[in-house]
């Protein structure tokens, strides 16, 4: 079955080529302004070819999103080295925020864009990726609560609040709503750090 294997491999390589091209264009132009024709042009194939490998634009987008999730998870490596759970929490906050500031397009694809992901039940892959990272956060928060280091008691609610607080800032930044309160994109990194520091100080016992 060597030929069949090679065919399968070539098929996967073709998928990867499309995903890579799509990623480039998605990050350059954003989701809405990216057209299948542009992606096809980028990789020197016809638009119709893409539909032989992906059901539709959303389906292709989900694959790109999966790669983005991988990047963020990678960014969180080595957190367990910090033995203080509050330090872990702060460090996660720093890195999450930094990721949002440095890769707003990736962040947008993962947490803000509308279309797909509604079909979570159908797409196990994404669910798994996002859920996995959330569980890491839940673990850290649980340890903080167990050691009585933060002013919350319910791990689920606390985790949700912590995530939302950081996501809120990144989301407002990604969608340029912070101009209205006098924060320019350039000042975001320094404000972001103060933001996390203040938040940790506020919730810790």
Partner DNA sequence: TGACTTACTAAACACTGTTCAGTATCTTCG
Partner DNA sequence: CGAAGATACTGAACAGTGTTTAGTAAGTCA
Q: What does 57 bind: its own copies, DNA, none (CB cut-off 5 to 8 Å by kind)?
A: DNA
Looking at 45, 172, 193, 200, which residue binds its own copies (CB under 8 A)?
Answer: 172
Per CB under 7 A, 49 contacts DNA: yes
Q: Which two tokens stand for residue 200?
A: 């940790």
- Alpha-carbon gap, residue 38 to 25, rounded angstroms: 7
Per CB under 7 A, 45 contacts DNA: yes
- DSSP string of 5-66, one letter each residue: HHHHHHHHHHHHHHHHHHHHHHHHHHHHH--HHHHHHHTTS-HHHHHHH-SSHHHHHHHHHH
Torsions phi, psi of 204, nearest 5? Answer: -75, 155
Query: For the window 108-137, what string marks contact with its own copies as x by the rule CB under 8 A?
Result: ---xxxx--xx-x------x--xx--x---
- Alpha-carbon gap, residue 174 to 109, rounded angstroms: 11
Q: Which of 38, 64, 40, 63 is nearest to 50 (CA)?
A: 40
Q: What does 13 bind: DNA, its own copies, none (CB cut-off 5 to 8 Å by kind)?
A: none
Looking at 179, 185, 187, 189, which residue binds its own copies (CB under 8 A)?
Answer: 179
Q: Which residues bind its own copies (CB under 8 A)?
A: 30, 32, 111-114, 117-118, 120, 127, 130-131, 134, 151-152, 154, 157-161, 163-169, 171-172, 175-177, 179-181, 183, 191, 194-195, 198-199, 201-203
């Amino acid at each position: 079955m060597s030929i069949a294997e090679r065919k399968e491999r070539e098929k996967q390589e073709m998928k990867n080529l499309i995903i890579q091209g799509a990623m480039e264009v998605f990050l350059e132009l954003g989701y809405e302004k990216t057209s299948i024709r542009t992606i096809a042009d980028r990789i020197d194939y016809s638009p119709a070819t893409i539909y032989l490998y992906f059901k539709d634009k959303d389906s292709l987008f989900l694959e790109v999103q999966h790669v983005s999730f991988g990047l963020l998870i990678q960014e969180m490596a080595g957190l367990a080295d910090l033995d203080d759970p509050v330090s872990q929490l702060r460090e996660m906050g720093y890195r999450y925020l930094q990721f949002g500031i440095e890769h707003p397009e990736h962040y947008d694809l993962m947490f803000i864009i509308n279309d797909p992901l509604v079909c979570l039940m159908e797409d196990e892959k994404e669910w798994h990726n996002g859920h996995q990272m959330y569980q890491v956060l839940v673990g850290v928060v649980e340890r903080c609560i167990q050691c009585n280091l933060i002013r919350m008691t319910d791990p689920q609610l606390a985790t949700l609040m912590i995530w939302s607080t950081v996501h809120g800032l990144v989301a407002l930044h990604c969608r340029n709503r912070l101009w209205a309160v006098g924060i320019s994109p350039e000042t975001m990194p320094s404000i972001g750090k103060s933001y996390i520091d203040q938040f940790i100080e506020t919730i810790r016992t």
